[in-house]
Chains A and B, each alone.
Chain A
Amino acid sequence: MAGIHIEHVTKSYGQLTVLKDFSLDIADGEFVVFVGPSGCGKSTMLKILAGLEEATSGTIRIGGRDVTDLAPGDRDIAMVFQNYALYPHLTVRKNMGFGLKMRGTDSAEIDRRVTEAAKILGVDHLLDRRPKALSGGQRQRVALGRAIVREPQAFLMDEPLSNLDAKLRVHTRAEISALHKRLGVTTIYVTHDQIEAMTMADRIVIMRDGIIQQIANPDTMFRKPANLFVAGFIGSPGMNFFKATVAPGQGSAMVRLFGQNVPLQAPTGLSGREVVVGLRPEHIVAGEGPVTFAVTPRLVESLGSEKYIYVDVPPENRVEVAHTGGDDRRADTIIARLINPEERAGSGPLTLSFDPARLHLFDAQTHIAI
């Protein structure tokens, strides 16, 4: 086990720079998730860490050792691939023992470690099968087994759950977290699924266009997003956004939302500034509250324990940045997420409310949180 230090790594393909000045310190035993939309550079960074891609510049240290120019096999890391990448011509036993065999471990020791890892993952009855005779979930476990049997300094996982069906994904997600707690090996996990990131990570690194947007633990990422992109990406459904101009109010600044003056916990010095106001769907509640507004829902989606109420946004509050975070939402609609709603909620006109203390403010030009 070891800490990983990434210093000023960049990656360019000719004129195209896909990774820009990436720096990160990962503590020994930490579970870090790289998350972001497709093409944000998260998998490229993982491949650079594995040695499968060469960094254009920068340094990588694993356990204090500079591995920037080392071959993948010399970095003492193990990797789990999105499509498992099991060797189809070898049995599960040989797949799991392949890395140890390449390192010259004697066969008795290989057998002992493979059997032990197989027991941990519950695949000990499959050891003599070939990958084609396994289900998707079993293949995934074997791929994990191949990684843990080596007892490496770090695990690198490249979207390992994306080929599993939804139910199995949730189950395996919990298993990977439990495995990490049990083994305590430093893990870097790449995903485009913010729910995986939120549920598994000690820290999340959220990326966009090759640039780190924010590094924080899941709670901080949710409560204090650094910018509009993070705010829109983290959370499901994503944060609602409104356009507004800050005006001076009685004792505090205020904005007009849904035709009402809403006081802000923001300095009055912001007066006159164009802002984007963010409000999470779960922070809108049914019934009266500090700021109450009546709506006729455009659409109601019921998930049983919760309802998504789609509400029209007044024209003066509509933002052009509603699609941030890869969310294909309409700019003229926001979502209210009502937890345990009454059955009749959403059947006709509704009264909704929110607490102004829950509002997030972003600069309309820079998109950075205020």
Chain B
Amino acid sequence: MKRSLLHSTFLYVAVILVCALLVFPIYWLFITAISPPDQLRVLPPRFWPEIPRWNVFGDVMSDRPILLWLGNSALAALGSVLLSMTVSVLAGYSLSRFRVRGGQSLGLFILTAKMLPATLLVIPLFGIFRTLDLIGSLWSIVLAHATLIIPFTTWMLKGYFDTIPRELEQAAMVDGCSPLGAMVRVILPVSAPGLAATALYGFVLSWSDYAYARTFLTNAQTNWTANLGITTMKGEYISNWGDISAASILVALPVLLIYLFLERYLVGGLTAGAEK
């Protein structure tokens, strides 16, 4: 009993510390946003402003085309996720199910693409997109992000498909499905948690990108993504950190909502009961 109490106390303290560590930057971002500019750098720091600037979010949205930037970010992220998922579902399923000569080496080769840092690919991608006349277009971002997302999601999905018993698609085929039909009607619905987690990973990767947007979209203001837009709010001599923080919160909000919405799928467990 004593040991169990000590154990619980230790567990709670550890959890509270970890939560505090994770939540504090978000809390501080929020405080920075709603604090008047003259209270941002006072010592000792204030943990809640005397007069919160609640209208800062509305002001930022009216001063800057935040909604346009968010829309561009969403288009780029959705486009790259759609493209990546289409490719990696088929690739991951094939790597999981079919034994072909050199299949494993091919899988490893795909994974090596993930090991290359994004910055290493910026220059060759810039050259390709310039040749294709895609510089300044959101397509450049969609394609560039897909090159980052596909290798990892392919392996994530291969791992997920590996856990699904082959008998499920065999049963579907005996029931009259083609191999592709078995994948679409049985394997993909059963894989919903894995697909959701993988798609979310791709979405966040694309949503949080700055390097590619900065390189390919700088000269096309109407196509700026949210991250790129926010950095332009920082002036050479004066930066309004309250506005920048408010914009950052607005940009982070969609991802947070998506996480909340998909949490049920991310937890998984849908395959329970498929077999013994």
Taking Cβ atoms with an 8 Å cutoff, the residues of A that contact B are 47, 50-52, 71-73, 77-79, 81-89, 98-99, 102-103, 130-134, 136, 139, 146, 150, 163
Please, could you name 17 A-B residue pairs with CB atoms under 8 Å apart, sorted by A?
A72-B170, A73-B174, A73-B175, A73-B177, A77-B174, A79-B170, A79-B171, A79-B174, A83-B165, A84-B274, A85-B274, A86-B171, A86-B273, A87-B190, A89-B192, A146-B171, A163-B275
Partner of A136, one of B172, B186, B272, B276: B276
With A133-B273, A139-B273 known to touch, is A85 a contact of B168 (CB < 8 Å)? yes
Q: Are A81 and B274 in contact (CB under 8 A)?
A: no
Is B271's beta carbon under 8 Å from chain A? yes
Q: Are B176 and A87 in contact (CB under 8 A)?
A: no
Partner of A134, one of B173, B192, B273: B273
In the assembled complex, the Cα of A86 lies from the Cα of B271 at a distance in Å of 10
With a cutoff of 8 Å between Cβ atoms, the chain B residues found around residue A163 in the complex are 275-276
In the assembled complex, the Cα of A82 lies from the Cα of B171 at a distance in Å of 11
Known: A85-B170, A131-B274. 13 other contacts (CB 8 A): A47-B170, A51-B173, A52-B174, A72-B170, A73-B173, A73-B174, A73-B177, A87-B274, A88-B190, A88-B272, A89-B192, A99-B176, A131-B273
Please give the distance in Å from B103's CB to the nearest CB on chain A. Answer: 16
Is B163's beta carbon under 8 Å from chain A? no
Please give the distance in Å from B212's CB to the nearest CB on chain A. Answer: 37
Is B270's beta carbon under 8 Å from chain A? yes
Is B178's beta carbon under 8 Å from chain A? yes
Taking Cβ atoms with an 8 Å cutoff, the residues of B that contact A are 165, 167-168, 170-178, 181, 186, 189-190, 192, 270-276
Please give the distance in Å from A46's CB to the nearest CB on chain B. Answer: 11
Partner of B176, one of A73, A131, A133: A73
In the assembled complex, the Cα of A52 lies from the Cα of B271 at a distance in Å of 22
In the assembled complex, the Cα of A139 lies from the Cα of B273 at a distance in Å of 8
Of B165, B168, B275, the most chain A CB neighbours within 10 A belong to B275
> Closest 5 A-B residue pairs measured CB to CB?
A132-B273, A102-B176, A83-B275, A73-B176, A99-B175
Partner of B178, one of A71, A78, A84, A130: A71
With a cutoff of 8 Å between Cβ atoms, the chain B residues found around residue A134 in the complex are 273
Please give the distance in Å from A50's CB to the nearest CB on chain B. Answer: 6
Q: Are B270 and A88 in contact (CB under 8 A)?
A: yes
Q: Name which residue of chain B comes closest to A83, CB basis.
A: B275
Q: Are A88 and B175 in contact (CB under 8 A)?
A: no
With a cutoff of 8 Å between Cβ atoms, the chain A residues found around residue B175 in the complex are 73, 98-99, 102, 146, 150
With a cutoff of 8 Å between Cβ atoms, the chain B residues found around residue A98 in the complex are 172, 175
In the assembled complex, the Cα of A120 lies from the Cα of B226 at a distance in Å of 61
